Amino acid sequence: MERAALVAQAHPDVQLTLAHVVSESALDRLRRLLPAEAGGLETGLRAQAGQALAELATNLAARYGTRLTTELIHGSPLGTICDLAEARDADLLVMGARGTHFVREMLLGSTTERVLSKSRRPLLAVKQRPQAPYRRILAPVDFSAHAVAAVNTAHAWFPDADIVLLHAFEVDIESTLQLAGLSDAQIHAYRIHAREAAMTEMEAFVAQLDVPRARLTRQFVRGAATLRIIEHEQTMDADLVVMGKHGQSVMEELLLGSVTKHVLAHSTSDVFVASQPA
């Protein structure tokens, strides 16, 4: 909520809505366990949640000077959050990367990850308590339309941040080339070719961005994207990692696991995810 208020503070035309979902499944358990008392307890629970939400909104409005509304609703958190975002035509969802039920989330996936899978709206997953606006953004790119949309959307929200465009490249069938007996010099030549091809694609990618060139830095690394992204995030001490929701191959992500979800799970910085509009 603090990060959302800080973002809203930087955009005076933005209205921030704080939403709390009272879980319908929790209410159902309450009704089964204590049927005689469930009505009064449910009313008290809603009243306490409403009061807590109102106090938080008042506190944030006073600290950040943002326009705030609140929504107290009950239902399934996943469905309710997505439905509310659609009803409000939200420009951005801001959620904690983890909720309070950590063990259950490890087994089933966090609500944030499930909302990310269902909603096409930009989502900011917050992991760190905010100290200042974002200044150093790492944007891993695969040159897809989703990566273009993610970088442009992030820049629109955080225009004062510098962005490092990181592309992780690998030589196709490098292990096969080694098994085939190619010399190190020949394989190195293939690596040089792969890097040069990536550099050409990077320039075409940059041409599609709405970001001032002075804000951009280009970086190329060789190796698996999942490993190199996390390494680079730590090396440059990034405030935020910006990802496209889908990469070049949606089927590959479904079969092998999404790079975006890996970064969401293993990065230490906040993660901003956006996709190309449908």
Name the domain count of the chain. Answer: 3
Beta-strand (E) ranges in 7-135?
15-23, 67-75, 93-96, 123-126
The model's pLDDT over 173-231, given as tens digits with 9 standing for 90+, comes to: 555 555 556 666 766 677 787 888 899 999 999 999 999 999 999 999 988 888 899 99
The model's pLDDT over 94-136, given as tens digits with 9 standing for 90+, comes to: 999 865 444 444 433 578 888 888 888 999 999 999 999 999 9
Measuring CA to CA, how many Å separate 178 from each of 6, 54, 111, 119, 196? 51, 63, 43, 43, 21
pLDDT of residue 28: 64
Q: Which of 1-5, 177-181, 205-209, 247-251 has the lowest mean pLDDT?
A: 247-251
Task: Find the length of the chain.
Answer: 278
pLDDT of residue 135: 96
Is residue 84 a part of any domain in this protein? no
196, 148: one domain: yes
What does DSSP assign to residue 247?
-
In DSSP terms, which residues pair with 166 in a beta bridge?
Answer: 140, 219
Q: Give the confidence band of 156 by pLDDT, cuts at 50, 70, 90.
A: very high
Q: State mean pLDDT over 252-263.
A: 61
Q: Which residue's entry shows tokens 């439905």?
A: 83
Per-residue pLDDT at 251 exceeds 70: no
**Could you count the other beta carbons within 10 Å of the beta carbon of residue 96?**
14
The model's pLDDT over 7-21, given as tens digits with 9 standing for 90+, comes to: 999 999 999 999 998
Residue of 247 and 246 predicted with greater confidence: 246
The pair phi, psi for residue 17, each rounded to 5°, is -110, 120
The model's pLDDT over 32-57, given as tens digits with 9 standing for 90+, comes to: 666 766 666 667 778 888 999 999 99
pLDDT of residue 249: 52
Per-residue pLDDT at 77 exceeds 70: yes
pLDDT of residue 51: 93
Is residue 47 a part of any domain in this protein? yes
The model's pLDDT over 54-68, given as tens digits with 9 standing for 90+, comes to: 999 999 999 999 889
pLDDT of residue 105: 41
pLDDT of residue 240: 97
3-class secondary structure, 18:
strand
4, 93: one domain: no
The last residue of one of the domains, among 75, 99, 114, is: 75
76: its two tokens: 């399934």
Is residue 22 a part of any domain in this protein? yes
20, 119: one domain: no
Please, are residues 220 and 169 in contact by the beta-carbon 8 Å criterion? yes
- The strand pair at 93-96 and 15-23 is best described as unpaired
CATH code, domain with 217: 3.40.50.620
pLDDT of residue 16: 96
Question: By residue range, what is the domain housing residue 37?
Answer: 1-75
Distance, in Å, from the CA atom of 159 to the CA atom of 139, rounded to the nearest integer, reads: 14
179, 57: one domain: no
3-class secondary structure, 96:
strand
pTM for the model: 0.83
Is residue 80 a part of any domain in this protein? no
166, 225: one domain: yes
**Could you count the other beta carbons within 10 Å of the beta carbon of residue 172?**
9
Q: Give residue 270's identity as a one-letter amino acid code.
A: D
**Could you count the other beta carbons within 10 Å of the beta carbon of residue 112?**
25
Is residue 81 a part of any domain in this protein? no
101, 18: one domain: no
Chain centre to alpha carbon of residue 122: 8
